[in-house]
Amino acid sequence: MNRLAAASSPYLLQHSDNPVDWWEWGPEALAEARRLQRPVLLSIGYAACHWCHVMAHESFEDANVAAVMNAHFVSIKVDREERPDVDQIYMSALQVLGEQGGWPLTMFLTPDGEPFWGGTYFPKEPRFGRPGFVQVLQEIARLYQAEPERIDRNRLAITEALGKGLTPKAGESLSLTDLDRIGESIAGIIDPVHGGLKGAPKFPNPPILEFLARHARRRDDPAARAGFLLTLEQMAFGGIHDHLGGGFARYAVDEKWLVPHFEKMLYDNAQLLELYALAAAETGRPLFHAAAEGIVSWLTREMATPEGAFAASLDADSEGEEGRFYVWSLAEVEEVLGPDADLFTATYDITAAGNWEGVNIPNRLRSGEASPEEEARLAPLRARLLAHRDKRPRPALDDKVLADWNGLMIAALVRAALLLTKPDWIDVARRAYRFIAESMTREGRLGHSWRGGSLLFPGFALDHAAMMRAALALFEATGEEAYLTDARRWRDVLLNDYAEPTGLLAMTAKNADPLVVRPQPTHDDAVPNANGVFAEALVRLAQITGAEEDERRAIDTLTRLTGFARAAPLAHTSILNALDLHLRGLTVVVTGEGADDLRKAALALPYLDRSVCVSHDTLADTHPAKAGASGSHRAQALICAGMRCSLPVTDPDGLRVRVKEMLTPAAIH
């Protein structure tokens, strides 16, 4: 009996008509495996995943394959976005086996949830150098019954390796000199032609790009700045960028950013929004400004839920083909644009032969940035093509609301709004925040996934860390104390319910259903790690309040985490970014009557460099700015580096000059 019809996850619902006797993840499924004395077949994927769809069509919809699964296994289907904890454990187990990770993830477990073998996509018939899925099923079933000692050896080895992965690496704290050394190293591995990390496939890797931007600002390093801007430029020109509808696909399969894996994820676009806004503010280039505006246009047009929050993803496939919704033939463009087609086809690389599998992915990798006059002519052409594209059968929308991904987007909207003077984006962020804070919260703790009134509770560490970070961004932008109260509450939830004796945040709450291990990853994946996000939020909170306890907590957290970052810097750049903010970031305290212009100038400073305190009441009594801020009613700003504060400045230009002086490499080092 397939039990997925009652699931809330769109991905699980995609499998509710399979002939497979699917279970959702939970103790009931494992109890059934123990009762039947069968192994568990665990299949993990997500709604926008192309190869998940391929395996589903080939195998899970096939009655003969399903019969083998039903006869020998208890089969469990998991949405990795809904249960990132389960995905983390078994993806780590696959990597212990020496396999490269990816989805769909196919793992075989004992009835106690202990992994003993697995892989990713298995074709129905043998090909791509991989055995056929039915062969795999039959051999695993045979081994489980006939050679249990082999199963047990694998189980013990993998479980032991997973346990070792929870041991924190000891290490000395990192200094500005260490950050400079790491920054030079990472700048040196950026593709000098196409940007991004060298080779293919190419992922945006926003935490790495942020670290490059921070290093460029800290050392005034032209190589790091060039690598940061080149990567954003080439992505904006490339096919990974939706030039008609805005937003970016998850990654490019080639080294030039031309051919995307067409799924569009909320978390990618959240992280890229703030980086494009940062680049636009720094350079003034219309290319970066348009990329940021395009993300928000896509977000509000296609991803906003009726409740005001944001959906998780758009599928890569439509009409059974990957990318069909986004690609064009020359004839179709000419039909829509008529005599205006030549300008568009020349600019966006549209030809009769096509630039990918006989069709065209619009891109500007050859034509580059248009002049203002050309851009004025191209804008209505893009609008006409977008209107035509919107009539096509659409990719499926995964409309579940994830607290962590929404938290990332809320903070990004606020940061981008302040950099690009888009106050309406803050309104969009506030609506999403209100929904998460009110509808996805129970007794002060967040759930993780909401859809149709169903809430997956309790949430994960990243839900609380990302929403803490979002609350602080909104507090800085609005000065409303309720946001600061929320940030402190979610901080306390993390410390009480998620922090382990190691000092790391576990993914799961202490009272969550037990798993074979309690995962405590520190490395960044497609989203920044909860430990890194929490560290940044703690640093920013300390800068906003100046409280000794907040400062101590931020330092203690960074000290515990930097051992991991020292051992594998590229995998831990969210931690390094938090450390840079701690070591280099300024606090701008704005007070007094009629201080709106000073406040706007402070908030328009890049978020990499500063935190903004908009009320001296927020400051701890021990902070040196407290007396200066409260001793005068006139509009003024004090700029503080740690516990050292400038003399008051009273005009926006003076504020910007003083901040620039305090952020020079000589002043920092």
Give the Cα-Cα-Cα angle 23, 26, 28 (nearest 5 degrees): 75
**Residue 594: band (very low, low, confident or very high) from pLDDT cuts 50, 70, 90:** confident
Give the tens place of pLDDT for each residue, 42-101: 999 999 898 999 999 999 999 999 999 999 999 999 999 999 999 999 999 999 998 888
Instruction: Say whether pLDDT at 619 is over 90.
Output: no
Buried/exposed 621-647: b ≥16 CB within 10 Å, e otherwise: eebbbbebbeeeeebbbbbbbeeebbe
**How far is Cα 304 from Cα 314, in angstroms, rounded to an integer?**
12
**How far is Cα 492 from Cα 555, in angstroms, rounded to an integer?**
16
Instruction: Say whether pLDDT at 145 is over 70.
Output: yes
- Asked if 613 contacts 479 with a C-beta cutoff of 8 angstroms, the reply is no
Q: What pLDDT score was predicted for residue 420?
A: 98
Query: In the predicted model, what is the mean pLDDT of residues 656-664?
Result: 95
Q: What pLDDT score was predicted for residue 579?
A: 97
Give the CA diameter of the chain. 83
Average pLDDT, the chain: 94
Instruction: Say whether pLDDT at 160 is over 60.
Output: yes
Query: In the predicted model, what is the mean pLDDT of residues 595-619?
Result: 91
Query: In the predicted model, what is the mean pLDDT of residues 389-406?
Result: 97
Give the tens place of pLDDT for each residue, 504-545: 999 999 999 899 999 999 999 999 999 999 999 999 999 999
Instruction: Say whether pLDDT at 381 is over 90.
Output: yes
Give the tens place of pLDDT for each residue, 229-243: 999 999 999 999 999
Nearest residue to 476 (alpha-carbon basis) of 536, 549, 541, 548: 541
**Residue 618: band (very low, low, confident or very high) from pLDDT cuts 50, 70, 90:** confident
Q: What pLDDT score was predicted for residue 398?
A: 97
Give the tens place of pLDDT for each residue, 241-271: 999 999 999 999 999 999 999 999 999 999 9
Instruction: Say whether pLDDT at 167 is over 90.
Output: no
Instruction: Say whether pLDDT at 188 is over 80.
Output: yes
- Asked if 493 contacts 464 with a C-beta cutoff of 8 angstroms, the reply is yes
**Residue 372: band (very low, low, confident or very high) from pLDDT cuts 50, 70, 90:** very high
Other CB atoms within 10 Å distance of the CB of residue 541: 24
Give the tens place of pLDDT for each residue, 543-573: 999 999 999 999 999 999 999 999 999 999 9
Instruction: Say whether pLDDT at 165 is over 70.
Output: no
Which of 633 and 659 is assigned the larger pLDDT?
A: 659
Q: What pLDDT score was predicted for residue 632?
A: 65
Q: What pLDDT score was predicted for residue 172?
A: 67
Q: What pLDDT score was predicted for residue 301?
A: 98
DSSP code string of 370-432: PPHHHHHHHHHHHHHHHHHHTTSPPPPEE--EEHHHHHHHHHHHHHHHHHHT-HHHHHHHHHH
Q: What pLDDT score was predicted for residue 358?
A: 97
Q: What pLDDT score was predicted for residue 87?
A: 96
Q: What pLDDT score was predicted for residue 171?
A: 58
Instruction: Say whether pLDDT at 616 is over 70.
Output: no
**Residue 126: band (very low, low, confident or very high) from pLDDT cuts 50, 70, 90:** confident
DSSP character for 108?
A: E
Instruction: Say whether pLDDT at 413 is over 90.
Output: yes
Q: What pLDDT score was predicted for residue 510?
A: 95
Contacts of 223 (CB under 8 A, 6+ apart): 184, 187, 188
Instruction: Say whether pLDDT at 461 is over 70.
Output: yes
Stretch (H or E) spanning 588 = strand 586-591
Q: What pLDDT score was predicted for residue 631?
A: 61
Q: Which pTM does this prediction carry?
A: 0.95
Please name the amino acid found at residue 192.
P
